[in-house]
Amino acid sequence: MRAAVMYSAGDVRVVDVPDATLVEPTDAVVRVTRACICGSDLWPYRDMAPDAAGQSMGHEAIGVVEAVGREVSRVRVGDTVIMPFAYSDGRCDFCHEGLQTACIHGGFFGWGGFNGAQAEALRIPFADGTLYPFNRSTDSSHWASLLSLSDVMGTGHHAARSARVRAGHSVAVIGDGAVGLCGVIAAKRLGAEQIILLGRHPDRVALGRDFGATDVVGERGDEAVENIRALTRGQGVHSVLECVGSDASLANAVAIARPGGAIGRVGVPHYEGIPAGPTFFKNLVVAGGPAPVRAYIDELLPDVLEGRIQPGRVFDRTIGLEETPDGYRAMDTREAIKVMIRTTAS
């Protein structure tokens, strides 16, 4: 079968790999219908050291179950499913508490010997705990939004929840990528009154306003901090959704949070530490981490199916699997917000 493999920074190829097969009795094999490229895939795309064996890529997909192991009972062959970016057994204490990304048997697709989703098919460990079946007859116009539930929409929601977004509160969203834009959707959905999006790319800002951003700040650094203070009576915002993960974005988040406020961080951290002094003296909550998107599908799916939210609009380009290398290039140059990979003819 065909799959995307990264060999070094800037070098993604679609190559022949062994077919996905069942290994454990709790596995399923999913034929991928739609996959996509994640902002987090761009980190290795920029700095991966050469590796002759390569890294299997992709961790977001919807697809159809093609085979199940003998201990799989809830998921059936032929089910159409959402594949969250992390696999989880669905049975441990953390899974029961809704923190599947801390599952004691869990892990992330594309790592630890598990193939990525930018492929024709993939092996799913703990299929019953991991996969989320949805109705097969679901209109294909919903597919993009359903795909977003495998990562970006659930991650934006996790940022908002971790930042304690409440009705009537003020929110700032750092990052105008797909996760940040989904964070705007999540903040509005949770009732935020003021939603300030930090971004400058015209297409992204326009989509952010459609999703519910009330203000847009295009400056960076100190100037952005000043503008946000001016928009919030000099106080800062109750909630900051930190959707980037850089030193600069974390420093901004701490600077624009109101005393007693909260930062929900979902950008994979590429910074060393969290500023001890300002977070202490401002009584800030700093929360967040890998989003347990599996736990959030129950809550978000009805809003998608009934059209109340349309996170699938973050996909502004669709390509075939063989064109995946160009999809990376388009996202890396910010030509595309998020690229969807159409792996099948349907």
For the CB of residue 6, give the shortest distance to Zn ion in the complex, in Å: 28
- Rounded to the nearest angstrom, the gap between the alpha carbon of residue 149 and the centroid of all alpha carbons in its chain is 8
- To Zn ion, the closest distance from the beta carbon of 88 in angstroms equals 5
Q: Kindly give, in sequence order, each residue whose CB lies less than 8 Å from that of residue 173, ignoring residues fewer than 6 positions away.
A: 159, 180, 183, 184, 187, 195, 196, 197, 198, 208, 213, 240, 241, 243
Q: Least distance from C-beta 84 to Zn ion, angstroms? A: 12
Helices (H), 71-190: 93-96, 127-130, 143-148, 152-162, 178-189
* Nearest-approach distance from CB 100 to Zn ion, in angstroms: 6
Residue closest to Zn ion (Cβ) = 103
Cβ-based nearer residue to Zn ion, 177 or 292: 292
Pair 287, 264: CB distance under 8 Å: yes
**Which residues in the 60-89 window bind Zn ion by CB under 5 A?**
88-89
> Are the C-beta atoms of residues 286 and 250 closer than 8 Å to each other?
no
Interaction pattern, residues 322-341, with Zn ion; x per rule: CB under 5 A: --------------------
Q: What is the DSSP letter of 119?
A: B
Nearest approach, Cβ of 26 to Zn ion (angstroms)?
12
What are the structure tokens assigned to 210, written together? 């459609």
CA 209/CA 274 separation, integer angstroms:
30
- Contact flag: residue 12 with Zn ion (CB under 5 A): no
Q: Identify which of residues 86 and 187 has a Cβ nearer to Zn ion in the complex.
A: 86
| Site residue total, Zn ion (CB under 5 A) | 5
How crowded is residue 306: how many other Cβ atoms within 10 Å of its Cβ? 9
Q: Buried b / exposed e across 12-32, counting CB within 10 Å, b at 16+? A: bebeebeebebeeebbbbbbb
Which 277-306 positions form the footprint of Zn ion (CB under 5 A)? none
Closer residue to Zn ion, CB minimum distance, 88 or 324 = 88
Q: Which of residues 88-107 bind Zn ion (CB under 5 A)?
A: 88-89, 92, 95, 103
Q: Which of residues 15-54 bind Zn ion (CB under 5 A)?
A: none
Can you give the binding site for Zn ion, defined by CB under 5 A? 88-89, 92, 95, 103
